[in-house]
Amino acid sequence: MKARTVLCEAISEDIGSVRLTEVDVPDPGPDEVRVRLKACSVNFPDLLMIQGKYQFKPPLPFAPGGEAAGDVEAVGDNVTHVKEGDPVVVGMRYGGFTEAITLPGGAVRPIPGTMSYAKAASYATAYLTAYVALVCRGYLEPDETLLVHGATGGVGMAAVDLGKRLGATVIATGGRDDKLAVVTSRGADHVLNYTQPDGTLGGFREEVKALTGGRGADVIYDPVGGDVFDESMRCINWGGRLLTIGFTSGRWPQAAVNLILIKQIAVIGVRAGEYGRRAPEKGRANNEALYAMAAAGEIDPYVCRGFVLDEAVDAMRLLENREVIGKTVVTMNGYTL
């Protein structure tokens, strides 16, 4: 069968270099399933893979898209945990910007609970990052103060959501008041706009100290890096944990070792996927914990907008230009938000 697919055929700085075309989708083998996709979330690694900047480089040509949801269309003889017609969530490293895909049966599982296709396609990566950071690496305790940077994006909003469910007081930062209003509506205790008049990020140090009685935040979740990391070192509590998730600011910061010593803090790197690959049993346990939370309705990814497959570049541009609140998805086969 044929399926319309967004293909990256050559590495390029311009994410608009991808093209919409038709590809053959094979019938599933004995251990495979074919899924008719309904939604695929858009993540920064999709953009970075097109640009050749991601640590994992798929073979060309490839379709972006690492997490999706849809309906099982056909199953191989050895696949028993799903059947034709089942709504499923799909996890993969790439390939999701397509109408249909054949992949190993282990890459799909039933959609948890009553989640929509869009939410089911949007929870795994963001919430796994937040879970590994806050639970496995940051050891966030109830009644501690959690400072979440980049809180209006997918991984940041997931950390706000999970931090509240873990009993923390959450201070959330972001660059626009309208985006932060959404974060407030989803439970953040305090929000701070860290965009300075000159366009740089910062200016939150004294506000964080004031909100914490001068102590500073116990755990800091930082997917931004750069100046935000530098200033975070100045408003972290004694014995705090600074979790470095990524560098959306574009600058890798240099940790001030004297502050690490004086405050006896820990600067901790977080790569959720690599954590699971290095410790498979823990990785499986983390995924099961998140799946159970999703099935129980205890986590709720925020999807701000959907784009049809023909508009996949527009969806990626929205993320590239920092216009997304939470998550955005590419939709296929007549599905709409």
Q: Using DSSP, state whether 54 is helix, strand or coil.
A: coil
Query: Could you tell me the residue range of the domain that residue 68 belongs to?
Result: 2-122+301-331
pLDDT in tens, 46-71: 999 999 988 889 999 999 999 999 99
Judge if 87 and 103 occupy the same domain: yes
Distance between CA atoms of residues 102 and 11, nearest Å: 24
336 located within any domain: no
Count up the domains in the chain and report the number: 2
By the 8 A CB rule, do 308 and 331 touch?
A: yes
* CATH number, position 322: 3.90.180.10
Distance between CA atoms of residues 276 and 309, nearest Å: 31
pLDDT in tens, 207-259: 999 999 999 999 999 999 999 999 999 999 999 999 999 888 878 898 889 99
Residues in the chain: 337
291 located within any domain: no
Judge if 239 and 197 occupy the same domain: yes
pLDDT in tens, 27-36: 999 999 999 9
pLDDT (0 to 100) of residue 199: 78
Mean of the per-residue pLDDT values for the chain? Answer: 95
Distance between CA atoms of residues 23 and 99, nearest Å: 10
144 located within any domain: yes
Judge if 118 and 129 occupy the same domain: no
Judge if 130 and 255 occupy the same domain: yes
Judge if 319 and 202 occupy the same domain: no
In order of 26, 78, 82, 83, the CA distances from 30 in angstroms are 12, 5, 13, 13
Judge if 235 and 173 occupy the same domain: yes
pLDDT in tens, 279-333: 999 999 999 999 999 999 998 999 999 999 999 999 999 999 989 999 999 999 9
Distance between CA atoms of residues 232 and 256, nearest Å: 11
Judge if 113 and 228 occupy the same domain: no
* CATH number, position 217: 3.40.50.720
User: What mean pLDDT comes out for the span 7-32?
Assistant: 96
Write the CB contacts of 315 (distance below 8 Å, at least 6 apart in sequence).
Answer: 42, 305, 307, 328, 329, 330
Judge if 144 and 175 occupy the same domain: yes
Judge if 27 and 148 occupy the same domain: no
Of 249, 171, 262, 178, give the one whose Cα is nearest residue 217.
171
By the 8 A CB rule, do 111 and 89 touch?
A: yes
* Helix and strand numbers, DSSP H then E, in the chain: 11, 15
Judge if 150 and 111 occupy the same domain: no
284 located within any domain: no
CB atoms within 10 A of CB 154: 30
337 located within any domain: no
Judge if 103 and 234 occupy the same domain: no
290 located within any domain: no
Judge if 209 and 258 occupy the same domain: yes
279 located within any domain: no
Pull the structure tokens for residue 197: 């008049």
pTM of the model: 0.92
Of 101, 99, 32, 42, give the one whose Cα is nearest residue 66.
42
**Strand-strand pairing, 217-222 and 145-148:** parallel
